[in-house]
Every structure is written in C-alpha cells, then in structure tokens.
Structure 1
Amino acid sequence: MSKVVFFIVSLVALGNVFFSQATFSSNLMVDMAKIVMNNYCSPEKLVGMKEAIEAASSNTEILNIPDEESLARVLSAGVQGTVSDLRLEVTYEPDYVPAVPQTMPPLPPEQLVAVLQTSIKLDILEGNIGYLRIDHILGEEVADKIGALLLDLVWNKILPTSALIFDMRYTGSGDVSGIPYLVSYFTQAEPQIHIDSVYDRPSNTTAKLMSLSTLLGERYGTTKPLIILTSKNTKGIAEDVAYCLKNLKRATIVGEKTAGGSVKIDKIKVGDTDFYVTVPTAKSINPITGSTWEVVGVIPDVEVNAEDALATAIKIVQLRAQVPAIIEGAAVLIADNYAFEDIGTTVAIKLKALLASGAFNMVVSKTDLEMKMSAILEYISGGKSIKASSTPPALPPMNYSPEMYIDLIKVSFQTNIYENNIGFLRFDMFGDFEEVKPIAQIIVEHVWSKVVDTDAMILDLRNNIGGPTTAIAGFCSYFFDSDKEIVLDKLYDRTTGATTELVTLPELTGTRYGSKKSLIILTSRATAGAGEEFVYIMKKLGRAMIVGETTSGSSHPAKSFQIGESGVFLSIPTVHSDTAAGPAWEGAGIAPHIPVPAAGALDTALGILNKHIAGQK
C-alpha cells in the first residue's frame, strides 16, 4: 500500500515543485488510478490502491503542469514505476480514434488468394525443410472461414516436409483463439492437453485453453523437428504460441528474447478528457511452468541475433537428421566392444529405445548431443566410463628436459616420514609404462629413495584419478620379492577376445620394498581407474590393508571409437579384470578393510601402524 500511496502523493508534490503555468484537477489522477485498479491484469500488485485513491480524492492540491503531453509523461513514469510494468502507459491523444476489430471482408477467391500470398511466406528449403512466416496469428473463426484456401496454399505444402522452421521474428499481433488452433497442429489429437490459461481482469474470468481434438486438415505430428524463430519484435499472441510449444517440449526457440508483451492490451479513455490509459487487461498463466512470458519475454533455447536465427535453425535441423544414425552407430560400437558383453548388449538396447522415445529430439548442437549422450550412457550403464566427445582423448607428449622432469616429479609426488619411521607417498595419477621407463631413475632418486628404507608405508591414492594401467605391474612389483613371479591379475580384452596375465617383473630400477613390511593404502570415492586396479590387486593378494572409502568403480582405460563419419567419438572400456573368482572392481568399486571418511583416513592409518610398531618393540 505504501508504494501506491507514495506514487499518488509524489505526483502531486512533483507537479507543485516543477510546474506553475497550467493546472489540472487531481481528479484526473483519481480517474486514471481507478482505470488501472479495475482493469489491470495482476491485481495482486495493486494492494492499497483503493486507499490511495481515497487519499488523492480528498487532496485539494492542483497539479501545475505546463501542457498535457508533459502531464501524460509524468503520469506514465509514476504508474510504471509503482506497478513495475512498462506496458502501462498514459497518453494524451485528442485525435485518437479507437481501432475497429478487424473482420475478414467478403473477398472473391482470387483476391483472397492474393491477400494470403502476401501475408504468408512459404518456402521449401534444401533437405526438405519447410519454412513458414506468418506475421499475424489468425483467430479460429477467421481461420475456419479461409481454411480450405489455407490448406491448399500453405498447409498441404508444409505437411510432407521433414522439419519445419516457423518464423515469428516479425509477428506482432494475433487473436487469443488462434493459440490452441495453431498449437494443436503440433500435438496429438488425444488426449487433449491443457495449453494455457488466460485470466481476463474486467470480467474476472479465466479461460482454460485446451488443444483441439479435431482440426481442418492433417496434423504436422509430434516428432518432426519444429524450430520457432523469434526476435525482440515478436510480441503478444506469437509469444504465447512460442512459450506453449517450448514448454510442451515440442519446439526449439532460436533467436532473440521476445518483447514481453501481453495477450490483451486495451486503451481506455480517462473520463471526458483526451487522456488514455493503456492497460494489459488479461494475462497468460502457463500450466506447466505456473508462470508467464509477459513482461519478461520468451527466452530462446538458442540465443542468437535475429538475423542469424534462420541459418542457426537450419544447422540444428541438419544435425537432428544425423542423430538417428549417430545413436544407432553408438549402440553397435558399445554392443561389440564394451568390456562386459552382457552390459554392452543391455546398454545398446536401452540406447536405441531412448532414441525411439524421442530422448534426443531436442538437441541443438553437437556439443549438446555429446553431453546428452554421455549423461544417458552414464545412467543406463551405471558408470561414468562411456563418454561421447568431439575429439579422441589424447595424453600430452612427455618430451621434457631432465630438469623439467625433475620439477614435474617434485610436483607430482609427495613424500613424508612420520614417527616410528613410517613412510608416506602420495601421487594422483598413473603414467604410461613406456613414458615412465626413461625417467624411472629420476623418480627413484627424487621420490622412492626417500621412503624405501622406512619400516612401514602409507600409499595415499585418495585423489588418484587413474591413467594408463601399463605401469601397474612394475609398481606392484616393488612390494613383492624377486624370488618368484606372481600373477597379479588376468585381463580380458573384448576387442581381441584374448586374456593376458599381469605378472610381477623380475628386474626393477632401484630397491624393492619387499613383501614383509606393513603397507596401508588410503582410498576415497575419487580413487578411480588404474588406481583402483592397483588397490584391487594389492587387496586380493593380501599385500596391503585398505583404509578409507569405497572407490569410484570406474573402469580400465577406455579406447576411442569414431561413430561413422560423424566426428563424434565414444570412449568405451574394452578391458576388464579377471572375474573367474567373482565380480571385479569395475562398476562396484573396492570396499576398504577399514571404512572411514577419506578426510580421516591418514590419521586412522598412522594410528594403526604406530600401534603395530609399538607392539613389536
């Protein structure tokens, strides 16, 4: 209430302070305020208006304004600021003639054809893409009168197209009854859908707009791509149509944010003066969002300049035409190459089912497709190992100088010696064996030599994200003796059908830690890939105690496969650990011997080792 009172009182004060040449009765403000209060579409914003009018009515101040146009501007600024709605406007128009609602004149057929051909632009673009531009949304009554001609001249030419670009960049007018009529051509006949609700303030009624069960001509359907082009000039009924189809997930909006107009604007005369108040007298309330496009506009799914919207829309349609082949190709690659055949088959079946259900119908770019594919594959596979990308993953080449290697190693490894000669070693990624081998001596000198002579060791893999598994055998070998070969794991490669044994190495750079000294490995939910393979081996062979959290349950390093000639690549795990004795770690993770939060794992490990060493003394 205080805001509205402030508005009316401040207008009176503003007039007294700044103007002294002409006078206008304060009743003008009262009459204007009554029009707003009785007709504005959002009465909840007008709390306190009645009391404000009564206060203004008893005010004997006279507005001293030099001319009518100045007064209109002052009143507009006041009412717009009070209600926070720029659609409200006060004007002074002595020559204003109210617009007469347009009706369809009884034109002969040839003239009617000419009118339609100039007001509706139709084209069939390359790739069987339909293009339709309509600058005024017809009401249902008018559409019924000229329906036969619309079918022959426009709609029947659009129906056979594979996709439709509906250009509303220039659509600034229309009839409310045209909303369900137009939207229904892109929905199913049954069941009927609640499209929109329109509240009319003067009558205090709400019309529930439903999709139509029967239409003149055939429907465009629910699966063919529909792109709506918008601009800052897209206004009113066109905004409603775009907003409805967007939230029904039936259309993709490309272009600029729309004007933020209204479904209905009325210009109402103030008393017997030549002042008028333009008021939005009705408002749209979308049943899906519970909100509206009015004032704020419709935000595009793909925001580009209006002049670039058509070219962008064509690219989107062309991409969507490729999507079925991309998804089908991905399903085949997964079924043929995923490390676990049964999971690969199931994922492929589910992926194709999602394609058929329309899960990929609304993609707007290759990046969007890749992100959607990756998210869906993660969900249906139960893991994060299968991913889509535009480029095959590649490790950076390691062609550093010896000095650079030393600096890199110092950053990559952390060591410490705790009380009771307990060693600590942390590293967060495994390297490729062929790349690590030339610098093995540097690692031994600058890292391994610091912890190898300890009486017990803590290996911190809580932040180890994996990497190549080619160095696993070598690293494991440091914690076993050289007198016999030990089979660490058996790896099955789906692409070749071969099973290979991972065994300890007879020769190593530097001194072994051996099999007798205590070893604890710290894990977390972030421990993944090669880190998990190392933990799995050391736990399975009883060589280490695991303290921390269950690991992530990812996979052996994935291989990259291009999907046809699409430029989209899939990372697919093709290798899994031996499952003859039961499930391995892929997909499930490795449970620790002693489960504790990752943050407290080091303290727990130190406590265990200190107690153990003290017991030996």
Structure 2
Amino acid sequence: MKNKLSPTENRLFYFNHPFIFLLLFSFAFIVNTNAQQKTINEKFKKETVLKMDSLLQKNYIFPDKAKLIGNHLKNSVKEGKFKKYDLLDSFAVALTKEVRFINNDKHLGIWPKFIPAINEKKDPNKDSYEVYLHNYTENRKLANGFREVKIIDGNIGYLKFDFFIHETKQTIDSYMHLLANTDAIIIDLRTNGGGSPKTVQYLCSYFFKAPLLLNTLYFRKDNFTEEFWVKDVNGKKMLDIPLFILTSPKTFSGAEEFSYNMQTQKRATLIGETTGGGANPGEVLEINNLLEMFVPNGTGINPITKTNWEGIGVIPEYKTTPEVAYDKAIELAQKGAEGYRNKNAAESKKLYQELQTAIAQQTKPVNEADTAKMDQQLFDVVKKLTESDLYKEDDIVAVASQYEKTKPYIAESILKSNSELHPNSPIAFLKYGDILEQNGKKTNAIAVLKKSVEIAAEIKAPYLEGLKARYESLLNKN
C-alpha cells in the first residue's frame, strides 16, 4: 500500500507511519529507480549532514536534542560511518538510523525525493500521464485508509483501517452509520500508522459529548498551540456503547493518539500489544535536490496526563499476543454487548412505565386549556423517550396505536408530540394527520397532511406521490 501524501508535498501533517519512509522510498522506486541508484560522493554526504544539522536546529521540537543529534551526525561523518554508502537510497537509510540514535524519535527520517523518470526515447507527456494514472489507481485502492467493516455475531461492530487520512469525514460517517445499531464496537488499529489530527478528532467525536478537550498540539514555530475539542458529527453519536481498541507495535502516531485519548478518558478498553511510541507531528523539509527529511516540529499534550506517549507507547489494559488479540477482543465485546443490552432494556422499561404513569393521570380534555396541559405533560415524557435513543419515531407511533380505539385523545397527543420532535419527517406528520381525521378534526388534519407533503417534496421522498394522493383524497371528502 502507498501513502496518499506525497513526500514532496512539504505539508504539515500529524503523525506519520513508522515505516512511511520505507513506503515513500518504495513508491519512488516504482516510478524512478534511477534516483535511488544514483551514486554519491563524500562532498555530497558532508554537505547533506551540515544542511540536516541546520534544519534540525531551526525546526526540531526539542532544541536541546537537535544540538545532540546534529553533533552526532557530524561526528558520524568524521568517524567514517557513511563511507561505505555510495548509493543514495542506502545513504538515506543510514542517515535515518543515525538521526534517531539520540532519542529514538521514530518520526525523524530521510528519503530520496520523488523525481519522475523521463525516458528520452519516450514522449514526456505520456510518462507524466502514466505517473498520474499510477497515483490515481493507488489512491483509489487506499479507500481513504479504511479496510474492513462488519457486524460480528452478538451484534458487535468491527472496524479496521490503516490511516487517519485528511478529509475523510464522509467515509467515516458511512462506516459509522453501518455500526450505529450495534451493541459493542471493536476498532482494529493494529496496522494503523496515523495521519491527520483533525481526522483523529472527528472519529473521537463520535464517542464523546461536547465540550471536551481531547488533545493539544504545541508547535515550536511561533510558539503556537492548537487545541482539539470534541465536535459535532454527521451521524449518530455513540456515547456509552462499549468500545474496544486493538493495538500492536505498528499502531503509531495518530492511531496512538486516538487510543490514548480513549484510554485516558476511560472511554475504551485497549487489547493487544504496546504501541510504537511516536507523538510528535511535523513536516517534510527539503535537504537538497535529492533528499528530503521529516522533522517533528510539534508535540502532543494530553489534558489529563499533561504529557504523551512519545518513546513509551500506549500500554493496553489487556496485553496479549498477536495470535489471541482478536479473539480476546471478541470475548470482551460480547460481554460488554450483553451488559449494554441489559442496561438499555432496564432504561427502556423505566421510560415506558413513566409514560404509562403520565397517561394514567390524564382524563379526556373538555376545553383547550385541558388539552394544552395534557399535551405538555405527555410531550415532556415522549421527549425523554426520544432523547434516550431507545425509542425511535416508529416506536412512538406504535405506542400511540395502542390507544387509538380506547383513548384516541391520548393517541392524538402522543402523535402530535412525535411530529414536533421529528419536524423533518413526512411520516410523523402523516400519522398525526391520520389520527386527527379519525378524531373528526378534518380541518386540522388537512393542514397537517399538507405539511407532510411539503416536507416530502423538500427531501424528495420516494413516497411523495402517495402522500399527495392521501392529502387530495381528504380534501375531496364531503
């Protein structure tokens, strides 16, 4: 798999894959083997090290470490550590090893620049198109980083993805919609190498209520700090669903931040192995016309621990071997799902009994004041049912149907509440209009059914013509 972000974009992105430098090298190698096979001399090596030292002193998030790294690189040149590396690719690998020697910052890395090869015997425009086609194909295969989503026996949702790629809200919304009615969720980050902090923030926001500070990034340049708070999402939030996260040493950077956020907020249970230990965002900088370097220029600060997982990793609550991690997650998720269903059943019963109590207190209204009082009392209870997320629009309709013959005024009041609580639902207004007609309130029924048709037309509902026919039939009744 290739990374969607080109190494030559020189853009700030949150966390990089621990093996991104190898991946980027592989990508460039496919397109242009000549760049990697280029022979280099000692002068080039010395100039490269001096430029790297300058870039580190100016940009690296830890100035004291930058000095130590720079000195180590210059000493490595003096000691002849790079003499045996005559090819650009092997030199880049050796530089990456030495630049990480001081504090093992796995985000620090060097690779050959992406330079498309042009064969003099071929049309350069054709070669450019082939590069474009290759990139286009590989990006489509990437699927915005997402690899698998499924529902496991026991109504357990499973989501696996490899990157927190920028601008993937719609993809996240689609996947989370599929998991919206599960009773527990497993998020598999065992091969996730990180990505955009905003994407981490967005997925985290599905599991928390705002306002809540998730993480803070501090950048050395301009002494800049950026906070990442829980935000609104374009889907159903899952505030209390049991959540389990699978981790491994390949879980890195943004994937670690997601795991760390969840762990420190006590929102999820982590299962697997300790993660890679990289917490410093940065950007790609040009060393020279042949090499580039990723330099971390920021660091994460968790609001609870006041630190991060750099060099330590995120340690799971359940440490397991790779062979049993998935099965252990299933086992824990099944128990969590059972407890979640039992909790919801108890809460649902409590709310239903509260509604029954409210209904039992009502008598048939004799004037508008009585009707308004009853409507308000029932609305308050129906609202609680709806906000609990345990009772959908159809469930409220089903409750109301129990009283259509015995206490039609109760059914009418409940269906009125339902339409007010679902103002964009043509069906909610249709059901309310039906009961109004049944209760002999034709004029009110016509107005409500008209509203149903208007909403259906606005949202282009497939049943619009049926609603129109229903509305017109009522209009034409004597």
Q: Distance in 1 between matches of 2:255 and 2:218?
A: 18
Shift, 1:399, TM fit: 10
Q: Distance in 2 between matches of 1:590 and 1:346?
A: 27
* Structure 1 equivalent of residue 24 of structure 2: none
Shift, 1:613, TM fit: 4.0
**Matches of residues 162-201 of structure 1 in structure 2 within 5 Å?**
none
Shift, 1:360, TM fit: 2.2
Q: Distance in 2 between matches of 1:399 and 1:353?
A: 40
* Structure 2 equivalent of residue 575 of structure 1: 298
Q: Distance in 1 between matches of 2:112 and 2:197?
A: 24
* Structure 2 equivalent of residue 360 of structure 1: 82
**Matches of residues 218-229 of structure 1 in structure 2 within 5 Å?**
none
The structure-2 alpha-carbon separation of the partners of 1:398 and 1:362, relative to structure 1 and needing over 3 Å to count, comes to closer
The structure-2 alpha-carbon separation of the partners of 1:352 and 1:429, relative to structure 1 and needing over 3 Å to count, comes to same
3-state SS of 1:353 partner: helix
Query: Are positions 1:457 and 2:457 aligned together?
Result: no
The equivalent position to 2:220 in structure 1, one of 482, 488, 494, is: 494
* Structure 1 equivalent of residue 266 of structure 2: 542
Shift, 1:553, TM fit: 1.1
Q: Distance in 2 between matches of 1:417 and 1:589?
A: 30
* Structure 2 equivalent of residue 475 of structure 1: 203
The structure-2 alpha-carbon separation of the partners of 1:398 and 1:425, relative to structure 1 and needing over 3 Å to count, comes to farther
**Matches of residues 253-292 of structure 1 in structure 2 within 5 Å?**
none
3-state SS of 2:90 partner: helix
State the identity %.
27
**Matches of residues 4-403 of structure 1 in structure 2 within 5 Å?**
319-391=41-113
The equivalent position to 2:164 in structure 1, one of 393, 410, 430, is: 430
Query: Are positions 1:444 and 2:173 aligned together?
Result: yes
* Structure 2 equivalent of residue 504 of structure 1: 230
The structure-2 alpha-carbon separation of the partners of 1:357 and 1:582, relative to structure 1 and needing over 3 Å to count, comes to farther
3-state SS of 2:284 partner: strand
Q: Distance in 1 between matches of 2:50 and 2:93?
A: 17
* Structure 2 equivalent of residue 587 of structure 1: 311
Q: Distance in 2 between matches of 1:412 and 1:582?
A: 31
Q: Distance in 2 between matches of 1:399 and 1:319?
A: 32
Is the 2:193–2:250 contact (alpha carbons within 8 Å) kept by the matching residues of 1?
A: yes
The structure-2 alpha-carbon separation of the partners of 1:480 and 1:579, relative to structure 1 and needing over 3 Å to count, comes to closer
3-state SS of 2:198 partner: coil
Equivalent residue letter for 2:173? V
Structure 1: state its 5+ residue gaps. Answer: 1-314
3-state SS of 1:591 partner: coil
Shift, 1:400, TM fit: 7.3
* Structure 1 equivalent of residue 346 of structure 2: none
Equivalent residue letter for 1:353? N
The equivalent position to 1:412 in structure 2, one of 138, 146, 158, is: 146
Is the 1:468–1:530 contact (alpha carbons within 8 Å) kept by the matching residues of 2?
A: yes
Is the 2:283–2:295 contact (alpha carbons within 8 Å) kept by the matching residues of 1?
A: yes
Equivalent residue letter for 1:500? E
Q: Distance in 1 between matches of 2:260 and 2:220?
A: 20
How many correspondences in the alignment?
287
Is the 1:487–1:502 contact (alpha carbons within 8 Å) kept by the matching residues of 2?
A: yes
3-state SS of 1:496 partner: helix
The structure-2 alpha-carbon separation of the partners of 1:588 and 1:397, relative to structure 1 and needing over 3 Å to count, comes to farther
Shift, 1:566, TM fit: 4.7
Higher helix share: 2
Q: TM-score normalised to the size of structure 2?
A: 0.54
3-state SS of 2:54 partner: helix
**Matches of residues 527-566 of structure 1 in structure 2 within 5 Å?**
527-563=251-287, 565-566=288-289
Shift, 1:592, TM fit: 0.6
Shift, 1:579, TM fit: 6.4
* Structure 2 equivalent of residue 521 of structure 1: 245
Equivalent residue letter for 1:357? E
**C-alpha distance after superposition, 1:553-603 (max 9, x if no partner):** 13444411112x453211112221016845411222111111111331121
3-state SS of 1:490 partner: strand
The structure-2 alpha-carbon separation of the partners of 1:524 and 1:397, relative to structure 1 and needing over 3 Å to count, comes to farther
Equivalent residue letter for 1:492? Y
**C-alpha distance after superposition, 1:45-66 (max 9, x if no partner):** xxxxxxxxxxxxxxxxxxxxxx
Q: Distance in 2 between matches of 1:385 and 1:393?
A: 23
Q: Distance in 2 between matches of 1:475 and 1:546?
A: 16
The structure-2 alpha-carbon separation of the partners of 1:477 and 1:398, relative to structure 1 and needing over 3 Å to count, comes to farther
3-state SS of 2:102 partner: helix
Moved more, 365-374 or 459-468: 365-374
Is the 1:523–1:548 contact (alpha carbons within 8 Å) kept by the matching residues of 2?
A: yes
Q: Distance in 2 between matches of 1:600 and 1:594?
A: 11
Higher strand share: 1
Moved more, 375-384 or 586-595: 375-384
Is the 2:186–2:333 contact (alpha carbons within 8 Å) kept by the matching residues of 1?
A: no
Is the 1:467–1:557 contact (alpha carbons within 8 Å) kept by the matching residues of 2?
A: no
Is the 2:281–2:299 contact (alpha carbons within 8 Å) kept by the matching residues of 1?
A: no
**C-alpha distance after superposition, 1:211-255 (max 9, x if no partner):** xxxxxxxxxxxxxxxxxxxxxxxxxxxxxxxxxxxxxxxxxxxxx
Q: Distance in 1 between matches of 2:115 and 2:151?
A: 37
The structure-2 alpha-carbon separation of the partners of 1:472 and 1:614, relative to structure 1 and needing over 3 Å to count, comes to closer
Equivalent residue letter for 1:324? K
Is the 1:530–1:556 contact (alpha carbons within 8 Å) kept by the matching residues of 2?
A: no
Over the aligned positions, Cα root-mean-square deviation in angstroms equals 3.1
Is the 1:335–1:347 contact (alpha carbons within 8 Å) kept by the matching residues of 2?
A: no
